[in-house]
Structure 1
Amino acid sequence: MFKNNQHRGLRVLGLMFMIFNLMSGQDAFHNFGNLQFHGNTSVGFHIDLIDDGVFDENLGLTGFYSENQLNISGTSNPVFNDIEIVTENGLYLNTWVGIKNNANFIIGNVLTDKSSSGSYLNFIDDAFFTGTGELTHVNGYAGATNKELITFPVGDGQQLRYLTLTSDAINSLARCAYYREDPNNSTSLGQQFDTANKEFDDLQISEFEFWRLESSQPSAITLTWNVSSNISLLTESTEGLLVVGWNKTENRWESLGNTSITGNLESGNITSNSFLPNDYEIVTLGGTESLLETFSVLELDNYFMTPNNDGTNDFLEIDGIENFPNNILNIYNRYGILVYSKLNYNNEFDGKSNQNAAISRNSGLAAGVYFYVLTLTDSKEKFQGYLYLSQ
């Protein structure tokens, strides 16, 4: 576990903690006292860490290594100098954990509860991160202490969706998380941010994702988008994009403007005007062109599927869909949770989810009744109906 030959006293102390916990039948390293890693010490945790003491003046490198999920918990908040994360099933934080230098994401995500911001990976002062990617980021809350500028390495576990915060003054603490959820019915936050309540009629709001940001300083933010953001449903060109936010006082969506846009309808980033983040519950992407309001909503056929690879009813086949390539298909379960979303759908759905809110991505969905919405962008029509899935 302890890889450096220096600081033998620390090694023995760590071994005493380990032996105590193993004798107690606990698969965790439990700190009750005043523990500190000195100099160039390299320490590796292969089991859970519980910090109920003082553990916030560490130097050297601290690593978390496991094929299983590791957990950090306790009544205190450990602060590390450098950390590296090699946890195939994630490093779950039940408290906030500080970083003073480099957080190196190698394998796996850092995970936190998304229903509140009490647990987070906290980048302190000049701390930074390396190695982030689609499968290596913070799926939950990231924090920033004593920073004016921070790019939060947040995502949903399967995709990295940076938010950059540029503040007018130093933030004593700022926090951010990304949600791949419909703001009209956020399962993580247990709140509804009705996209029909908005500052002006032709303001469009994404129904696919949002970020939650906390900062007490006037700031501009930069949001990113990719193919799954379905920007074409908000605007016909990137020039019509906006950052929008849910005003806590007015209980409505408002434009936060744009000062810079780069990219195309498949990927890019946009920077807002300056605003006070704490005045807004969540933020997301929006547009100004009236695409969604003018869509006709029509009932389509109900479908029956038996995806058992027998060649009959294995796929959701919508007649004539090839004539409307600019479309998007969303399928929801009976609880209103999005379980499948496909831009330019062409009869590919085979009963498996491609969303993290389901059992798991690429897993077969349970038998039952589902609700689908097919949006045709060119003709400005929405078709909806029911799908019965049988195993």
Structure 2
Amino acid sequence: MHKTLSLLFILLALSVSAQTALYNNGNLQIHEGGSIGFHTNLINASPMDGNLGLAGFYGTAPLLVSGEFTPQFHDVEIALENDLLLALGVNNSNNTNFILGNVRTPLSQPEIFYTFLDDSFYTGENDLSKIEGYAAITNKQEFMFPIGDRTYLRPLIIRSYSNHLFAKSAYFYENANNPDSFSGSYNTFNTALDVEFVSNREFWRLEGSIPTTVSLTYNSRSALENLTDDVNKIIPVGYSKLSGRWINLAGNVATGNLTEGIVSTEEFVPDDYELLTLGVSKIPYEPLSKEVLNLDNYIVSANDDGINDTFFIPEIVGKGNNLVQIYDRYGLKVFEFVNYTDEFTGFSNLNNIPLNAEKGLPAGVYFYTIALIDEKLNYQGFLYLAR
């Protein structure tokens, strides 16, 4: 029996983008040590998930993968003068070798993505060969998504608390105020109080339900020098689904310079944010005048143990009239008191906390501002609320 008989497929002379197509309507399978080179489109109309060996996509014309069933390949090689276009997803269980040409998925259709399964990996990614669209992973704790746009590789790196059963990301060289690829508007001027500017040139989307640290890259096209002249003020920001504004997610200072570098976030849950991009921190934080003095950071442990149960500020004792305001990390004012002494015990005194106000504010970092009215002095700082 000829070995070719184990490849049960029908080759139809269908016109797809002015090309013939390989139409799999049976049991196309690549055995271990075997290989198949696609020089034409693939229409996959039958399950195809038991492949080993190599599936290569080659040639000068763009190739299209379409059909009803997501194909799963063991090793994949991309060597196309033009691109591999996906009209349905593709799964990779071992290695993807990027040589030339992008794997393109529609940015307007996030349900179509190239998936790196479990122990799979990739090699050779570069500006000319990467995922231009959505890339996904399964059962991975750390991963660098090899994503970008037509011109540049713009990877997004995750390090997670535990394995993501599923996570997905894409890069957009678009204005978040009015994206081209999907509906919605994410006002880059609507920011938390410690964010001064948000980039309107590019953004990433990241889906995932596990607490994660993210690293974002930037290059000369990011034009961050138009936003700041201080590389230490470059921060990652996310558009919060809860507050509907851009939030400072900085975990450390940027590494690099104003035209090229990388910056990482604190740990957060990706599904809590619509978009991620780069921004500039506001230093000092929300000044009440041109001269703002920084006080120490404080801890308030509202547990009635007699230690740090209230927010007490020695510097304002005996200084006359004052105004103390406290904000949460989203920029929402949660406490305000005229002629303050030690009234803050972890509860809001405003009527803008919609849920569980009677239980007190959640643990976490808060910002405070203090105006010494008689002395015309202003202070600011951070406090951590523990429970």
**TM-score using structure 1 length:** 0.69
1:255 aligns with 2:248: yes
Letter in structure 2 aligned against 1:110 = V
Mark the runs of 5 or more structure 2 residues left unpaired by the alignment.
287-387
Residue 45 of structure 1: which of 38, 52, 58 is its match?
38
1:102 matched to 2:95? The reply is yes
| Contact 1:152/1:162, CA 8 A, preserved across alignment | yes
Residue type at the aligned position of 1:71:
L
Distance (Å, rounded) in 2 between the aligned partners of 1:260 and 1:151: 20
The 1:270/1:172 distance shift into structure 2, 3 A limit, reads same
Tell me the amino acid that sits aligned with residue 259 of structure 1: N
Preserved CA contact (<8 Å) 1:234 1:289 = no
Rg (Cα) greater in structure = 2
Q: Specify the code of the residue in structure 1 equivalent to 2:122.
A: F
Work out the CA distance in 2 between the residues paired with 1:216 and 1:162.
20
2:26 aligns to what SS in structure 1?
coil
Shift of residue 202, structure 1, vs aligned partner: 4.4
Matched residue of 1:269: which SS?
strand
Query: For the residues of structure 2 that align with 1:214 and 1:6, how far apart are their CA atoms?
Result: 47
Contact 2:232 2:253 in 1 (8 A): no
**Which residue of the partner structure matches residue 279 of structure 2?**
286
Deviations 1:92-138 (A, max 9, x none): 11111111111111111010110131111100111111111111111
- Provide the rounded CA distance (Å) in 2 between the counterparts of 1:234 and 1:274: 25
- Matches of 1:245 and 1:100 in 2, distance apart? 31
Map 1:297-316; keep pairs closer than 5 Å. Answer: none
Q: Quote the Cα distance in structure 1 between the aligned partners of 2:138 and 2:131.
A: 16
Over the aligned positions, Cα root-mean-square deviation in angstroms equals 2.0
Measure the CA separation in 2 of the matches of 1:166 and 1:77: 28
- The answer to whether structure 1 residue 186 and structure 2 residue 173 are counterparts is no
User: By percentage of residues, which structure has more strand?
Assistant: 2
Q: Cα distance, 1:9 vs. partner?
A: 2.4
Within 1, Cα distance between the matches of 2:48 and 2:218? 38
Secondary structure of 1:81's match? strand
Structure 1 counterpart of 2:4: 8
Instruction: Report Cα offsets for 1:315-373 as digits up to 9, x if no partner.
Output: xxxxxxxxxxxxxxxxxxxxxxxxxxxxxxxxxxxxxxxxxxxxxxxxxxxxxxxxxxx
Query: Displacement of 1:274 after TM fit?
Result: 0.3
- Going from structure 1 to structure 2, the CA distance change for 1:68 and 1:283 (only over 3 Å counts) comes to same
TM-aligned CA distance change 1:9 to 1:229, over 3 Å: same
Q: Which residue does the alignment assign to 2:234?
A: 241
> Runs of 5+ in structure 1 lacking a partner?
294-391
- 1: distance between equivalents of 2:120 and 2:129? 17
Correspondence for 2:302: none
Alignment of 1:1-391 (within 5 A): 7-11=3-7, 13-14=8-9, 17-18=10-11, 21-22=12-13, 27-200=20-193, 202-259=195-252, 261-289=254-282
Distance 2:64 2:80 in 1: 10
- Report the CA distance between 1:155 and its aligned residue: 0.6
AA aligned to 1:273 is E
Over 3 Å counting, the alpha-carbon distance change for 1:202 and 1:177 in structure 2 is: closer
CA distances 1:20-60 after superposition (whole Å, capped 9, x unpaired): x12x6671111122322111101001111111211011100
**Secondary structure at 1:8 match in 2:** helix
3-state DSSP of counterpart to 1:239: helix
Q: Residue type of the partner of 2:4?
A: R
Q: Is the 8 A contact 2:78 2:98 kept in 1?
A: yes
Report the AA paired with residue 239 of structure 1: N
Identity of aligned residues (%): 40
Cα distance 1:272–1:6, how it changes in 2: closer, same or farther (>3 A)?
farther
CA contact (8 A) 1:244 1:284 kept: yes
Taking structure 2 as the reference length, what is the TM-score of the superposition?
A: 0.70
| Amino acid paired to 2:5 | G
